[in-house]
Structure 1
Amino acid sequence: MLSQKAKYALRALLMLAERPPGTMVLAAEIAERQKVPRKFLELILLELKRDGLLVSQRGRNGGYCLARAPAGISFGQVVRLLDGPLAPLPCASVTAYRRCADCHDEHGCHIRLVMRRVRDSMAAILDNATLADALAGRVGDELLEDA
């Protein structure tokens, strides 16, 4: 399930993606317009900056802006950054694989096989949905066709 933290991050990134490149927006403005608690948003923005999705500037004309074009930031990147692996079980993860402690036959585990398909389907959609796609309304079946 998508955390509130990831949801707020996506809302903030989409707001910044609507602005002309390089346009700085104050955290307070983002928080107010997106109805997000300011202190929580500031922590999220710092995390996004640390991981190279945002650039910040202090001072009178300061704020935050995207570090790259909206077409270069996928929902998958943001979700993994803030929520961790997409897989519902560690044994189904590509990036953070870990065998389940109670598993007797990992390769024959039907639960793992289904959860891996869930993970793969989520990744196919989230990794091919960029901020630009979302703003343009391109979030339907064409994302699956591209994968």
Structure 2
Amino acid sequence: MISQKAKYALRALVVLARLKAGTTMMIGQISREQAIPKKFLEQILLELKRAGIVMSLRGRAGGYALLKAPEEVTFGEVLRLVDGPIAPLPCLSKIAYRRCEDCQEETSCEVRHVFERVTLATRAVLDSTTLADALKLDDIPV
């Protein structure tokens, strides 16, 4: 399950992805539109800024904007930045691998094999889905 922080980060980024090039949005407006606590959003946007995903401008015409094109920002990138590894088991993590304490042998672990398939499929979707793709999904009835 993704954290509330990651969900807020993705929602804020989708809002910024909708902006016309060269325009910004104030943090208060994002906070109100998306019902995200402003102080929490400030922390999230600062983290995204440090990662080079968003930029901020001060002053009257200030606010936040995407630094990268919506086609360049994947859900996987954002989730890893905010929540860390995308793996339901520590033995499946690429960046924070840790052998499961109760595991006798990874190569014959049935649980690991099933969740490895789930993890690979999940990563494939998240790493190939961009903010631009998410905007297109808005137009598709569910």
Please tell me the TM-score bracket, short chain as reference.
over 0.9
How large is the Cα RMSD of the aligned pairs? 1.4
1:129 alignment partner in structure 2: 129
What's the counterpart of residue 107 of structure 2? Answer: 107
Q: Aligned-pair distance for 1:20? A: 1.0
Q: Distance in 2 between matches of 1:97 and 1:120?
A: 15
Unaligned runs of 5+ in 1: 141-147
* Aligned residue runs from structure 1 range 49-88, under 5 A: 49-88=49-88
Ranges of 4+ aligned residues in structure 1 off by more than 4 Å: none
Tell me how far apart the structure 1 counterparts of residues 50 and 76 of structure 2 sit (CA, whole Å).
17
Q: Is the 8 A contact 1:21 1:69 kept in 2?
A: no
CA distance in 2, matches of 1:94, 1:63: 35
For residues 75 and 4 of structure 1, the distance between their equivalents in structure 2, rounded to whole angstroms, comes to: 14
Identity of aligned residues (%): 55
- Normalization by structure 2: what TM-score? 0.93
TM-score of the superposition, structure 1-length normalised? Answer: 0.90
1:95 is displaced (CA, Å) by 2.4
Aligned length: 139
Which residue matches 2:93?
93
On the 8 A contact 1:87/1:118 being kept in 2, the answer is: no
Which sections of structure 2, spanning at least 5 residues, go unmatched?
Answer: none
Q: CA deviation at 1:23?
A: 1.1
Between the aligned partners of 1:114 and 1:93, the Cα distance in structure 2 is 14
Greater relative CO, 1 or 2 (CA 8 Å, sep 6+): 2
